[in-house]
Amino acid sequence: MERYIEQSGLGDLLAKVQNQERLTIADGRKLYQCSDILALGYLANLVRERKNGNDAFFIYNQHINYSNICTNLCKFCAFGRKKEDDLAYEMTVADVKEKVRERLSEPITEIHMVGGIHPDLPFQYYIDILQAIKDVRPEVHIQAFTCVEIYHLAQLAGKPVGDTLEVLKDAGLGSIPGGGAEVFNPRIRELTCPEKLSGEGWLEVARIAHQHGLKTNATMLYGHIETIDERLEHLDALRTLQDETNGFLAFIPLAFHPKNTAMSEHKGTTGINDLKNIAVSRLMLDNFPHIKAYWVMIGEKLAQVALSFGADDMDGTVKEEVITHMAGAETAQALGHKTLIRLIKEAGRTPVERDTLYNVLETF
């Protein structure tokens, strides 16, 4: 195998990975430019197995998108709507309660809840929906509100981000999902999401969350106008913050879906691009415990393959995914528990059902 890697041009990086040396941005460039996906996957798999052995994690979760009304209207997003749009919606507190109640018979351990940047819902609404979920399902872990939403909620509350997080924690917030990161570089933000919280702002909210004991995830939306260097700069910023706080649980590369967006002239990503982003992030983010292959975005078949290219987590059952499906995803809206186990087993990995914080619930 070593000769094969030498021939692919990644020989010097193999030695670095084996010696657990940190890869540089220049190394990352070499990885992205390598056309031998098997060599790249081999390197990423070394790190994947060193960190997580043969385990492949999944979770029994439910997604709730409380509203798609959004003042940011990012160009890559097909989910967000203006308030007056025919397709705009906003759940009442009772609606959120009902969504949770509908699935009470299922062994859901996590509720993943995000929405847009709403122009006029008051801070109390966000407290109420957290409490409503806990009223119906007291044991569930609520992973909710991206760093972008948290910043908005702090403005609504008229409090510093840290104090706002304490109020949200008291109402039931357990951790923060990784959305809203997009690509941190200001050029990309200016061209694709000029209204959104800056990359620096996103990182600062994540830092404060970690300081307040909240674990968070991180994402990167790739496959549109970003360059390889802009991706690497994004990964490097995450790696630097993780060195400081150790508060990130998982990194999820998000494959851009162009349909119904203001960037619909772009083509969707290819399987190789998807695998490369998984593998390079596994190699660059040496201090992140987990890399997720989010089956909703890359399809369950490629997510299975990704388990040998750096990923150790398939996310979960999900239930009613909206954000990617509005942008043309052709994947299912939910996967059964048994299907996830089968997909992982057939990929040669050990299915491990986890909770949000990666405590093992059951090994299959």
> Which stretches of the chain bind ligand V47, using CB under 6 A?
76-78, 146, 177-180, 182, 217, 219, 221, 252, 254, 256-257, 261, 294, 315, 323-324, 327
Q: Nearer Cβ to ligand V47, position 8 or 146?
A: 146
For 111, residues 6+ apart whose C-beta sits below 8 A from its C-beta are 61, 62, 63, 64, 100, 133, 137, 140, 141, 142, 143, 144
Structure tokens at 113: 């809840």
SS3 177: coil
Q: Nearer Cβ to ligand V47, position 34 or 234?
A: 234
CB 315 → ligand V47: shortest distance, Å?
Answer: 6
Q: Nearer Cβ to ligand V47, position 177 or 351?
A: 177
Q: Nearer Cβ to ligand V47, position 161 or 254?
A: 254
Q: Nearer Cβ to ligand V47, position 55 or 182?
A: 182
Neighbouring CB atoms inside 10 A of 102's CB total 13
Which of 288, 257, 287 minimizes the C-alpha distance to 274? 257
CB 180 → ligand V47: shortest distance, Å?
Answer: 5
Range list of H helices, the chain:
2-8, 11-18, 25-33, 37-52, 93-102, 123-136, 147-157, 161-171, 186-192, 199-211, 228-245, 271-284, 295-298, 300-306, 323-326, 337-346
Q: Tell me which residue has tokens 């061209």.
A: 191
Q: Nearer Cβ to ligand V47, position 42 or 256?
A: 256
CB 113 → ligand V47: shortest distance, Å?
Answer: 11
CB 232 → ligand V47: shortest distance, Å?
Answer: 18
Q: Nearer Cβ to ligand V47, position 180 or 351?
A: 180
Instruction: Find out whether 208 and 176 touch, Cβ atoms under 8 Å.
Output: no
What is the rounded CA–CA span in Å between residue 252 and residue 44?
Answer: 15
SS3 202: helix
In terms of DSSP bridges, do strands 350-354 and 360-363 run parallel, antiparallel, or are they unpaired? antiparallel
Tell me the angle at which helices 123-136 and 161-171 cross, rounded to the nearest 10 degrees: 30
CB 12 → ligand V47: shortest distance, Å?
Answer: 33
For ligand V47, which residue has the nearest CB?
179
Q: Nearer Cβ to ligand V47, position 179 or 247?
A: 179
Q: Tell me which residue has tokens 């994540």.
A: 206
Phi, psi of 279 (to 5 degrees): -65, -45
CB 286 → ligand V47: shortest distance, Å?
Answer: 20
CB 49 → ligand V47: shortest distance, Å?
Answer: 22
CB 345 → ligand V47: shortest distance, Å?
Answer: 22
- DSSP 8-class letter at 180: T
Q: Nearer Cβ to ligand V47, position 185 or 219?
A: 219
What is the rounded CA–CA span in Å between residue 248 and residue 231?
Answer: 18
Which of 57, 63, 58, 56 minimizes the C-alpha distance to 334? 63
SS3 160: coil
Q: Nearer Cβ to ligand V47, position 32 or 295?
A: 295
Burial class (CB in 10 A: 0-12, 13-18, 19+), 267: exposed
